[in-house]
Amino acid sequence: MSDQHAGDPAEEPQVVVRDRRRIDPETGQVRAETGDLEAEVEAEVVVDQPVDGPDLDPAAALKAQLDERTADLQRLQAEYLNYRKRVERDREAVIASAKASVVTDLLSVLDDVERANAHGDLTGAFKAVAEKLAGSLQKAGLDSFGHEGEPFDPSVHEAVQHNTSPEVTGPTVTGVLRRGYRFGDRVVRAALVAVTDAESAPAAPPVEES
């Protein structure tokens, strides 16, 4: 029989069993003298003691917990900052897209204003309103391009006429049929232009041998 006792882990409890019965349970004989026939059976009870590792320093354990919480807080802060940056980028992209959409709708108005100015019809109050409109759009980020004399760039120019001339050294815009516009880094409309390329020099006549 075994029994587990709680107490000092260093002590090993023992159980002592004494058989004081007058009849021997094995032989069935009556024992002569109970005192002389006392049998003492001692059995050790082994108590499993928990095996603990080396005692941790409370200060070290507290520091480990603090370091873990600090690392968690830093990760959370980094995730929050990244989230704010993404939200800010998305917000700016939405604003820029909305502005570009409004500006694109007004390009036809700017074309009419430019044609009126070319014909000398842009005068008086109409001229003041047109200049105010152009200034406001330019302040919002609209920039025009497509001017005579600038190098031809197929990424922003759309050539609708092509000529050659010895007066240029490379593809050059020599006529603007419709102004081009960009809003920030985004081209909202390509410029329709006439392009003049360099005229190749005539081939030299062959030299006759005498």
Over pLDDT 90: what percentage of the chain? 22
At position 147, the amino acid (one-letter code) is H
Helices (H), the chain: 58-118, 124-140
108: Cα within 13 Å, side-chain hemisphere: 3
**What confidence tens digit (pLDDT) does each residue in 153-184 have?**
999 999 999 888 888 888 999 999 999 999 88
Q: What is the mean pLDDT of residues 76-97?
A: 91
Length of the chain measured in residues? 210
CA distance linking residue 119 with residue 117, whole number of Å: 5
Judged against a pLDDT cut of 60, whether residue 203 lies above it is answered with: no
Strands 180-183, 142-145: parallel, antiparallel or unpaired by DSSP?
antiparallel
Residue 117 has which token pair?
């100015």
**What confidence tens digit (pLDDT) does each residue in 89-106 have?**
999 888 888 888 888 888
Q: Three-state SS for 168? A: coil
The angle that helices 58-118 and 124-140 make with each other, rounded to 10 degrees, is: 160
The pLDDT value given to residue 114: 87
CA distance linking residue 7 with residue 11, whole number of Å: 8
Which listed CATH number (2.30.22.10, 3.90.420.10, 2.40.480.10, 3.30.70.20) goes with 93-198? 2.30.22.10
Query: Tokens 């590792």 map to which residue?
Result: 53
**What confidence tens digit (pLDDT) does each residue in 6-20 have?**
445 445 555 555 566
Q: What is the mean pLDDT of residues 127-133?
A: 89
CA distance linking residue 102 with residue 71, whole number of Å: 47
Domain with CATH 2.30.22.10 in the chain: 93-198
Strands 14-19, 39-44: parallel, antiparallel or unpaired by DSSP?
antiparallel
Q: Which of 187, 179, 190 is nearest to 111 (CA)?
A: 179
Judged against a pLDDT cut of 90, whether residue 88 lies above it is answered with: yes
Res. 48 pLDDT band, cuts 50 70 90: very low
CA distance linking residue 62 with residue 82, whole number of Å: 30
How many other β-carbons are positioned within 10 Å of the β-carbon of residue 82?
10
CA distance linking residue 76 with residue 59, whole number of Å: 26
The pLDDT value given to residue 32: 58
